[in-house]
Amino acid sequence: MKKNRISKNWINKQRRDIYVRRSKVDGYRSRSAYKLIEIDEKFKIFRNGISVIDLGAAPGSWSQYLSKKIKNSKIISIDLREMEAIHNILQIKGDFTEKKNQSKINDFFKSNVDVVLSDMAVNTTGNKNIDSIYTGELCMEAMIFSKKILNSDGKFISKIFMGSTFNEIITEAKLIFKEVKVFKPKSSRKNSKENFIICKNLR
């Protein structure tokens, strides 16, 4: 009975959510597209001709935005889950930390890249502190990967949750990048601890 009540509450919340409704009209696979749009509008991340890696890309709304936004670019989307194809984007099903997938990425780009994106988060446990720790670990893995593959003036954008590991991650980011900012898009739900770190220019 309780599970059914929670499911109904979630459905009602989705129906009221302006970004869920907009995503259906605009053809995005999820509301998270608008978070990346806000980040891009504020920090001017994307331009034509750049190379981008979208980590944890499924269901693909960030990659959809990239496909629409930038031309003459090389883009890879990677996720453990299957994704429907997106125009002009190479998709890899797998773990970005595995050497075989990193080899595929290197073979595709042939050089370092301009932008690494990560909207990765663990499946929620119901415990916000645990969720923030596990999602923080994903953020750290993505950051370490970015350090290896980004150009010197590259950019790294990642989801991060407020929690016990937040300050540690920001401190680490400042050791790797010259510019680090934290941003919460308006399209991120108010009751969510979700934020995004915007990192530019490797040290």
Question: How many C-beta atoms lie closer than 10 Å to residue 4's C-beta?
Answer: 8
DSSP type of residue 122: P
Return the domain boundaries, the chain. Answer: 29-202
CA dihedral 20, 25, 26, 31 (to 10 degrees): 10
Q: Model confidence over 171-195: pLDDT tens digits?
A: 999 999 999 999 999 998 888 889 9
**Which two tokens mark 143?**
């950051």
Cα–Cα distance between 203 and 180 in angstroms, integer?
Answer: 12
Is residue 202 within 8 A of residue 144, CB to CB? The reply is: no
Total-model pTM: 0.89
Q: Model confidence over 131-170: pLDDT tens digits?
A: 778 888 999 999 999 999 999 999 999 999 888 889 999 9
Average pLDDT over residues 77-98: 96
Cα–Cα distance between 142 and 196 in angstroms, integer?
Answer: 13
For the chain, counts of helices (H) and of strands (E): 7, 7
Q: What is the helix (H) or strand (E) element at residue 19, kind and residue range?
A: helix 18-26
Residues annotated as catalytic (active site), given as ranges: 159
Cα–Cα distance between 35 and 185 in angstroms, integer?
Answer: 6
**Which two tokens mark 63?**
């990659």
Give domain 29-202's CATH number out of 3.20.20.140, 3.40.50.150, 3.40.50.11260, 3.90.45.10. Answer: 3.40.50.150
